[in-house]
């Protein structure tokens, strides 16, 4: 048997990273908390807690606050996270816009800017993105005390481990090494991810799934995307993707989808499909406040909430189709909570009733017993999903150790 010193060192570094990450996450999520409480919860030795918190204090990631009540002896000093010393830039690259936002580490959006996207080749978008980001940093230099990360999310097939965009529906790309390019330009930690998966992560950190272990987010917009959280971890596979919910068949006799199948969910519930159906039904003589000139998804939801029968039918039909796909995912994953996002959720009561109706008819009773379905509390058009990747890197310790290593250099 040979002694592998490198493996031993590697394991020791990983254990250190995980311990620091655990303590930082506990402080963020359970503050104010004392060192004694941290030791009890984490099962780490008090000496380890002292060492870890000392380093976090030096790096201004945490702070000591007013002492807690004590039953005797020295009062226990409480600790909580300090969010204002560092900032991160979060970018959402959608099909038509680039949203750039500045966040502190408490997920507070300090500045938000939105720009039109009119270039659609890899090099054009890359140049435009770098220029906008540099201008954003320069314009907001007074609010950026210490920039530690830039994170970007976009639709498509994203290799988040290597920061490579393999496919995105609106830009012509070929193994776009976006993280490497941005790293060279800005010299901070860079994160790249899928927009919907990152939004599911944001719900888990900041939204309506914070108190559950297993959840699914489904967003309906131009397409239908989903993100699955299992044991508070984002589910991905070898291809950095999972759960292409938009191409679940909900109508065997439905129209042919661009994927080659018939009756895909995407063809029935995306905004454009609902709007087109509204136009057809108005032209066929259905009475409604909606008109062929004003039947966008926002008007449909608005009039549905006001009792318009055609608008209600459109939202209800979309909800029932969505519920059929939700039922399949419930049968497979047995989540505790499902969160719906997108413009269609502006008519929440009608939508959720329709989703639950289809779900109850097509899923196992035991799997939906403790399930709740709700609409997202986050702004899905913001860059909060991109910031969630920064939070993930702090909570798993990878970004945390990068910050702490600066102390020792």
Distance between the two ends of the chain, CA-based, in angstroms?
36
8 Å CB contact between 216 and 227: yes
Q: How do the domains of the chain map onto residue ranges?
A: 5-81, 87-200+383-408, 208-375
| pLDDT over threshold 90, residue 396 | yes
| pLDDT over threshold 60, residue 142 | yes
Would you tell me which CATH number, out of the four given (3.30.420.40, 1.10.10.410, 3.10.620.30, 1.25.50.10), belongs to the domain 208-375? 3.30.420.40
Q: How many residues does the chain have?
A: 409
Q: Give the architecture-level CATH label for domain 5-81.
A: Orthogonal Bundle (1.10)
Q: Give the residue, 307 or 265, on which the prediction is more confident.
A: 307
| Domains 5-81 and 208-375 belong to one CATH topology | no
Per the DSSP assignment, residues forming a β-bridge with 90 are 101, 151
- Residue 43 backbone zone (phi > 0: left; psi -120 to 50: alpha; other: beta): left
Phi then psi for 143, rounded to 5 degrees?
-95, -10
| pLDDT over threshold 90, residue 349 | yes
pLDDT (0 to 100) of residue 67: 65
Percent of the chain with pLDDT over 70: 93
Q: Give the residue, 405 or 64, on which the prediction is more confident.
A: 64
Percent of the chain with pLDDT over 90: 74
Residue 127 CB neighbours (<10 A) = 12
| pLDDT over threshold 70, residue 72 | no
Q: How far apart are CA 389 and CA 395, in angstroms?
A: 10
Q: Count Cβ neighbours within 10 Å for each residue of 128-142 and write b for 16 or more, e otherwise.
A: ebeebbeebbeebee
E strand spans, 244-295: none
User: At which residue do the structure tokens 């959608």 appear?
Assistant: 94
What would the pLDDT profile of 296-310 be if each residue is shown by its tens digit?
999 999 999 999 999
What would the pLDDT profile of 115-134 be if each residue is shown by its tens digit?
999 878 999 999 999 999 99
Class of the CATH-defined domain 87-200+383-408 = alpha beta
Which of these, 251, 298, 307, lies nearest to 271 by C-alpha position?
A: 298
């Amino acid at each position: 048997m040979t002694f592998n010193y490198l493996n031993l060192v590697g394991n020791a570094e990983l254990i250190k990273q995980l311990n620091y990450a655990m303590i930082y996450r506990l402080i963020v999520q359970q503050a104010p908390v004392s060192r004694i409480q941290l030791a009890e919860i984490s099962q780490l030795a008090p000496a380890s807690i002292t060492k870890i918190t000392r380093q976090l204090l030096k790096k201004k990631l945490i702070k000591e606050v007013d002492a807690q009540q004590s039953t005797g002896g020295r009062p226990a000093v409480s600790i909580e996270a300090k969010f204002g010393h560092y900032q991160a830039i979060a970018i959402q690259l959608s099909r038509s816009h680039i949203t750039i936002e500045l966040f502190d580490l408490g997920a507070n959006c300090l500045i938000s800017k939105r720009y039109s996207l009119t270039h659609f080749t890899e090099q054009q978008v890359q140049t435009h993105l770098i220029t906008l980001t540099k201008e954003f940093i320069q314009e907001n230099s007074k609010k950026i005390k210490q920039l530690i990360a830039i994170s970007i999310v976009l639709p498509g097939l994203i290799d988040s481990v290597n920061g490579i965009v393999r496919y995105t529906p609106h830009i012509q790309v070929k193994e776009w090494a976006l993280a490497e390019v941005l790293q060279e330009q800005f010299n901070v930690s860079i994160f790249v991810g899928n927009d919907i998966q990152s939004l599911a992560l944001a719900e888990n950190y900041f939204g309506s799934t914070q108190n559950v272990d297993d959840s699914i987010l489904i967003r309906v917009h131009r397409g239908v995307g989903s993100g699955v959280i299992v044991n508070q971890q984002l589910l991905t596979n070898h291809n950095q993707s999972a759960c292409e919910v938009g191409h679940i068949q909900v109508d065997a006799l439905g129209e042919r989808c661009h994927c080659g199948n018939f009756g895909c969910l995407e063809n029935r519930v995306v905004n454009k499909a609902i709007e087109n159906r509204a136009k057809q039904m108005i032209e066929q003589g259905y009475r409604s406040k909606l008109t062929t000139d004003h039947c966008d998804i926002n008007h449909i939801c608005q009039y549905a909430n006001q009792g318009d029968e055609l608008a209600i039918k459109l939202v209800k039909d979309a909800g029932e189709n969505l519920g059929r796909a939700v039922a399949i995912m419930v049968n497979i994953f047995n989540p505790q909570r499902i969160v719906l996002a997108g413009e269609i959720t502006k008519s929440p009561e009608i939508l959720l009733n329709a989703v639950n109706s289809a779900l109850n008819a097509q899923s196992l009773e035991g799997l939906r017993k403790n399930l709740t379905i709700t609409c997202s509390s986050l702004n899905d058009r913001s860059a909060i999903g991109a910031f969630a990747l920064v939070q993930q890197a702090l909570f798993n310790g990878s970004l945390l150790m990068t910050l702490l290593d600066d102390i020792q250099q």
